[in-house]
Amino acid sequence: MNKLDVTEMIFEKKHTAGLTWAGMAEAIGMSEVFTTSACLGMNSLPREKVDALVAHLGLPQEAAIVLAEYPTKVFPQTITTDPCIYRFYKIMGVYGDTLKELNQEKDGDGIMSTIDFDMSVDMLPNPKGDRIEVRMSSKFLPYDAW
């Protein structure tokens, strides 16, 4: 059993039981974003959270072993045609250099950590059409000079 197998099992349970990512996250006491990412194979869960998720979803014990394994974070290097994911690529294409410039102007030469990182996704009502708000908060990692 591998991470893809477990992800497929989770999707099956999610759909047949009418579960949500938020509900699964709440059941194990973790954030919706991190829980979803771990279920999709891009992060690992601490053992006690794995056990809680496996029990909540009724997954076999073999799935717990896989969910606790450290992932190899490999993703396609081509731009996807999925409209939702493509828009995030487009945002980075249009605003990536702007974000980098503003980040460096405010904090110096460095990068955002994806290890010490938080993210949330919310829907905000708006008279001109509902808005999606993606909030990211990350530790700043300055480049060393030697």
Asked whether residue 77 is assigned to any structural domain, the reply reads: no
Q: Tell me what pLDDT residue 120 has.
A: 96
Q: Tell me what pLDDT residue 146 has.
A: 80
User: Residue 43: exposed, middle, or buried by beta-carbon count in 10 A (0-12, 13-18, 19+)?
Assistant: middle
Q: Tell me what pLDDT residue 31 has.
A: 93
The per-residue pLDDT string of the chain (146 residues; one tens digit each, 9 = 90 and over) reads 999 999 999 999 999 999 999 999 999 999 999 999 999 999 999 999 999 999 999 999 999 999 999 998 888 888 889 999 999 999 999 889 888 988 898 999 999 999 999 999 999 999 999 999 999 999 999 998 78
Q: Tell me what pLDDT residue 76 has.
A: 80
Ramachandran angles phi, psi of 18, nearest 5°: 70, 35
The CATH number of the domain where 125 resides is what?
A: 3.30.1160.10
> Which domain, by its residues, includes 93?
83-142
Instruction: Estimate to the nearest angstrom the gap between the alpha carbon of 14 and the chain centroid.
Output: 17
Asked whether residue 22 is assigned to any structural domain, the reply reads: yes
Indicate if 42 and 98 belong to the same structural domain: no
Indicate if 41 and 64 belong to the same structural domain: yes
Name the CA dihedral angle for 58, 61, 67, 72, rounded to a multiple of 10 degrees: -140
113 with 138: CB under 8 angstroms?
yes
pTM, two decimals, is 0.81
Rounded distance between C-alpha atoms, residue 35 and residue 72, angstroms: 17
How many domains, in total, are found in the chain?
A: 2
- Which residue has 């938020």 as its token pair? 22
Instruction: Estimate to the nearest angstrom the gap between the alpha carbon of 93 and the chain centroid.
Output: 20
Indicate if 9 and 45 belong to the same structural domain: yes
Q: Tell me what pLDDT residue 139 has.
A: 95
